[in-house]
């Protein structure tokens, strides 16, 4: 007899549901030509992302639609014939509007109706708009002729799709409204494959734009990095002839300031360069999935974008490497200079200790001299007192010669006084952890 096993009997990892659901995140939308698509991507961080999510929730509630869950990163709703697809990413959010475009031949490419325009304006965004794509899917086999009608031939790029009979074309230029236009000519793709193709094409344009955000950052950092590099060479040259603690301390302070300036720029660009590298890898992976064969006379998307993106990505990578290498060189120079400063400080301390020892030795000699005079003075005083005693005893009738008794008492008094003073001085020096002076 079989038994049922329930996973509730186990301690489930708190992230298990999220990890399993990630495989099904952002599913493809099944599409049938002809269809029009608008894609907007807004950069948002922190509070802006929260505001954009709240605006989307309010938009759904206002139109009687199901709002996304609190932890959801993807949500899709249908407003009559119009489908809105929302996706939340780490630093941006996308809003993709999809609508049937059955009469597209009678209208301008990607023309948006009044209803859709009103819906787009009713969904405000706190972030900055970065990506605006206008994509049109047409059911046609005359892809080349149609693309030549719509795009600038000098920058037109076309490619056959690997997954089936379809062609993707664009000149990657912004039209008079600011949209980058893309044409997908379908000649037999299934709705599932067409939906996957459209999403990947939109991702290529989205990630391509995001990847190029690193280029302005690299160009902005180039002048200060050049200045820091030149000044480092000058400081190293000055280090060779620098003498004295004051000069070396000044150079060390300047190196520290240069390192702080460099690290500030590197910390600010660390995320941007890393993100550009990741976005570029996503672009290349999407291109590898969709690209099939060439169309005679026109570059493929990979070759067209490589001529523009590869130099930009190399510029970002070069700037990142320059920052890292320059940081290492600044650290080495600072260590060398800090070692020199430490050695000079030790030499100063050694000279200071030597001077202090010399002064201490002089003080001990002076003290010994004073102690000798003190023994003589105290001895003279004590002997004088003893002489009065001896004279008094002689006058009293005792058989004592005052001069002889005083003379005999002199070495005894001086010796006793010297021993007492020596013991006192030795005890004081011992308490001060100072070795007694040699007599």
Q: How far apart are CA 413 and CA 63, in angstroms?
A: 118
Tell me the longest C-alpha to C-alpha distance in the chain. Answer: 157
Residues 6+ apart with CB under 8 A from 381: none
Give mean pLDDT, residues 119-123.
Answer: 91
Structure confidence at residue 385 (pLDDT) = 81
- Rounded to the nearest 5 percent, the helix, strand and coil shares of the chain are 60, 15, 25
Whether residue 133 has pLDDT greater than 50: yes
Structure tokens belonging to residue 162: 């690997």
Average the pLDDT over each of 15-19, 118-122, 221-225 and give the range with the smallest value.
Answer: 15-19
List, in sequence order, every residue forming a beta bridge with 122; answer none if it has no partner.
none
Structure tokens belonging to residue 165: 């009979």
Asked whether the bond before 102 is cis by omega within 30 degrees of 0, the reply is: no
Average the pLDDT over each of 45-54, 209-218, 276-285 and give the range with the smallest value.
Answer: 45-54
Question: What are the Cα distances from residue 378, in Å, to 98, 105, 279, 412?
Answer: 115, 128, 96, 13
Whether residue 217 has pLDDT greater than 80: yes
125 and 109 Cβ atoms separated by less than 8 Å: no
40 and 132 Cβ atoms separated by less than 8 Å: yes
41 or 336, greater pLDDT = 41
Q: How far apart are CA 20 and CA 25, in angstroms?
A: 9
- Residue % of the chain over a pLDDT of 70: 88
Average the pLDDT over each of 79-93, 186-200, 201-215, 339-353 and give the range with the smallest value.
Answer: 339-353
415 or 138, greater pLDDT = 138
Structure tokens belonging to residue 295: 């169309």
pLDDT band at 346 (very low <50, low <70, confident <90, very high): confident
List, in sequence order, every residue forming a beta bridge with 224; answer none if it has no partner.
none
Whether residue 104 has pLDDT greater than 60: no
30-61 residue pLDDT tens:
888 899 999 999 998 778 888 888 999 999 99
Tell which residue, 365, 179, 334, has the closest CA to residue 252. 334
Give mean pLDDT, residues 388-415.
Answer: 77
The secondary structure of residue 122, as a DSSP letter, is T
| Alpha-helix runs per DSSP H in 111-213 | 114-121, 143-150, 191-211
Whether residue 87 has pLDDT greater than 50: yes
Average the pLDDT over each of 137-141, 147-151, 311-315, 383-387 and give the range with the smallest value.
Answer: 383-387
Q: Where are the chain's structural domains?
A: 28-189, 214-350, 363-431
Tell which residue, 96, 99, 165, 160, has the closest CA to residue 131. 96
Residues 6+ apart with CB under 8 A from 244: 344
291-318 residue pLDDT tens:
988 888 899 999 999 988 999 999 999 9
Cβ atoms within 10 Å of 214's Cβ, excluding its own? 26
Whether residue 423 has pLDDT greater than 60: yes
């Amino acid at each position: 007899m079989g038994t049922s096993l329930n996973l509730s009997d186990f301690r489930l990892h708190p992230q298990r549901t999220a990890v399993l659901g990630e495989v099904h995140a952002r599913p493809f939308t099944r599409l049938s030509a002809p269809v029009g698509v608008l894609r907007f991507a807004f950069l948002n961080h922190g509070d802006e992302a929260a505001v954009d999510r709240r605006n989307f929730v309010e938009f759904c509630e206002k139109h009687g639609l199901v709002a996304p869950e609190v932890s959801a990163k993807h949500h899709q709703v249908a407003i009559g014939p119009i489908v809105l697809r929302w996706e939340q990413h780490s630093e941006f959010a996308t809003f993709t509007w999809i609508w049937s475009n059955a009469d597209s031949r009678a209208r301008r490419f990607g023309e948006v109706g009044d209803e859709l325009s009103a819906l787009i304006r009713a969904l405000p965004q706190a972030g900055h708009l970065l990506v605006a794509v206008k994509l049109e899917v047409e059911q046609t086999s005359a892809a080349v002729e149609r693309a030549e009608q719509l795009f600038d031939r000098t920058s037109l790029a076309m490619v056959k799709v690997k997954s089936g009979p379809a062609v993707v074309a664009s000149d990657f230029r912004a039209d008079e409204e600011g949209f980058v236009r893309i044409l997908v000519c379908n000649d037999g793709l299934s709705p599932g494959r067409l939906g996957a193709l459209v999403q990947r094409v939109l991702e290529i344009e989205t990630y391509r734009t995001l990847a190029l955000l690193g280029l302005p950052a690299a160009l902005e950092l180039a002048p200060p990095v050049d200045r820091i590099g030149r000044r480092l060479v000058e400081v190293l040259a000055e280090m060779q002839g620098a003498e004295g603690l004051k000069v070396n301390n000044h150079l060390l302070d300047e190196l520290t300031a240069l390192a702080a300036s460099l690290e500030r720029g590197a910390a600010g660009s660390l995320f941007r360069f890393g993100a550009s590298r990741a976005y570029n890898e996503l672009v290349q992976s999407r291109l590898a999935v969709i690209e099939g064969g060439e169309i005679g006379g026109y570059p493929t998307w990979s070759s067209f974008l490589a001529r523009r993106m590869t130099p930009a990505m190399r510029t970002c990578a070069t700037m990142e490497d320059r920052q890292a290498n320059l940081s290492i060189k600044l650290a080495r120079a600072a260590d060398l200079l800090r070692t020199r400063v430490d050695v000079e400080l030790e030499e100063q301390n050694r000279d200071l200790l030597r001077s202090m020892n010399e002064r201490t030795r002089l003080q001990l000699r002076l003290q010994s001299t004073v102690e000798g005079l003190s023994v003589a003075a105290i001895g003279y005083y004590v002997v004088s007192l003893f002489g009065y005693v001896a004279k008094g005893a002689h006058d009293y009738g005792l058989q004592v010669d005052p001069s002889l008794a005083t003379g005999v008492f002199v070495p005894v008094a001086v010796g006793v006084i010297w021993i007492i003073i020596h013991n006192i001085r030795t005890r004081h020096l011992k308490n001060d952890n100072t070795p007694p002076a040699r007599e």
